[in-house]
Structure formats: structure tokens, C-alpha cells
Amino acid sequence: MSNMVLSVGSKFPNFNKKAVVSIEKGKEFFDINSDHLFDSGKWTVLFWWPLDFSIVCPTEIIEFDKHNDDFKQRNTVLLGASTDSEYVHLAWRLHHSDLKNLSFPMIADTSKSLADDLGILETQERIAYRATYIIDPQGTIRWVSVYDLSVGRNVNEVIRVLDALQTDELTPCGWKKGEATLSV
């Protein structure tokens, strides 16, 4: 079991997982793997939540979904994940009106192997912390944030950091897309 969070500059681990991509009968599940992602030539934002059928998690999932077009405009694939199974993900989507039509896959890390490889598995309950990874097209982690189980994230900050990373330039504190970058 890993105790250290895999961080900036590390290669994102290889994985092969089931994901829920739809609530349409016969089209619910899809196999998703690291090769598929990193061969696409796109950036990836992968965010984790602790548990399905919880209180804080849907607020974040809904907010990420509202911004999925913003991620697409930035040549970025949005993925969500937890250690719940694909069947739990599907049941949650079927029973939560705001989650029914999500526009991104919900990865099921039922074995907890990916969360463990990333170092984001909470040790007592063995659920994932609220972690967010920005991964470049080569599969290298460029940004990671990990929150306590009780604290929701700011999706606008994830987009701001993605914009800054995609400039490949120096950006000052609080920089936003369209503002001047720094020069040496």
C-alpha cells in the first residue's frame, strides 16, 4: 500500500477500469485504460470523490459537469472516479436527477488499486480522498491537489491551473487566461 501521493513530474500509473458512460440500457459500461487516454494527444483532468450517495460529492460532480465544455475547449478529457463499483455509479446516476445526464465517464476503481497507486487511499475507511490530477498528453502529472474528505473543490481553480500549464510560460499568482505571462 502506498502512503505517498504520486505528485508532479511522475508518470500517471497504467490502469484498466470499468466506467459508467450512460444510463441507456445496454450502453452503460465502457472499459477505459491509460493507453486510450494518453494516446489521444489530449490533456486529462481526473478528479476523485470519496463515496457515491453522499452529500458533498454530487455538488462537485455537477460543477465539473457544468464545465465539461470548458475542458473540451482546452483539448482536455474530463474523468471522474471513486472506489465504488460501476453498478453503484449506475444506481446513483439513475436515482439522482442531477447526475443522470453526466457528460463524462465515472471510473469504478473497485479494487482500489489505482487510488492506492496514486497514494490517495484513506487508510481507515479505504476510500479515496478528494484528489484532482491534471495530466499532460504524455501521461505526466503536471498538477495534483488533495482535499480532506469534508471539503469540496473549486472547479474554476482547476481550469485556471490548466490554462496556466497549457501556456508553458511563467504565470504570476492569481493569473487568468488572457492576462500577461511573466518573462525572465
**CATH number of the domain that residue 99 is part of:** 3.40.30.10
Query: Model confidence over 162-171: pLDDT tens digits?
Result: 999 999 999 9
CA atoms of 23 and 56, how far apart (whole Å) = 22
CA atoms of 181 and 171, how far apart (whole Å) = 5
Q: Which residues are catalytic?
A: 57
For residues 34 and 14, the answer to whether their CB atoms sit within 8 Å is: yes
Does residue 7 fall inside a structural domain?
Answer: no
pTM of the model: 0.93
CA atoms of 107 and 15, how far apart (whole Å) = 11
Does residue 113 fall inside a structural domain?
Answer: yes
Average pLDDT over the chain, rounded to whole? 92
Does residue 132 fall inside a structural domain?
Answer: yes
